[in-house]
Amino acid sequence: MLAKKVQDALNDQIQAEMASAYLYLAMAAYCEAMNLKGFGHWLRAQYNEEVGHAMKMFDYVIERGGQVALKAIEAPPAEFGSPADVFAKVLAHEQHVTARINSLYELAVAEKDYATQIFLQWFISEQVEEEASADEIIERMKLAGDKGSALVWLDKELGKR
């Protein structure tokens, strides 16, 4: 059985994961409106991953005998700046999610909830991958600079995800 503190924190994280999904969907729409379909495709894949993360937590709360309490999700922004700005925001957002997951883990440790600690290990590893992926795209964009052809190539590459 989940401690109430842990259950509440996991419910907050379910909301945060769904908000992340909504943010990535908004970013996808923004990029696709700029005719960057590959960027949009990559961001739609992120959307799907975030929904998957939320559902993994949803199922875990239920499996542990807890109660899922879904919460409202605020509308994301509609404007994100240049493609480089979009991915800077992706990285900053993933760093924010990492901090949230780390706080969840700290709570599980404080509550001596060993099962939740083990469960959260997957998310901790996933966040390393998420941050590295966003950082790699940012570094490629820096290499591309102002060369439109490099941006087109990167758009094509991101569309392969």
Looking at the structure of the chain, the number of domains it has is: 1
Q: pLDDT-based confidence at 102, cuts 50/70/90?
A: very high
Q: Which domain holds residue 121?
A: 4-158
Q: What is the pLDDT of residue 1?
A: 86
CATH of the domain at 33: 1.20.1260.10
| Contact predicate 113/77, CB 8 Å | no
Say how far apart CA 143 and CA 150 lie, in whole Å: 9
User: Does residue 58 surpass a pLDDT of 80?
Assistant: yes
> What are 144-158's pLDDT values in tens digits?
887 888 889 999 999
> How confident is the model at residue 145, as a pLDDT?
82
Tokens describing residue 142: 């820096």
pLDDT computed for residue 161 by the predictor: 85
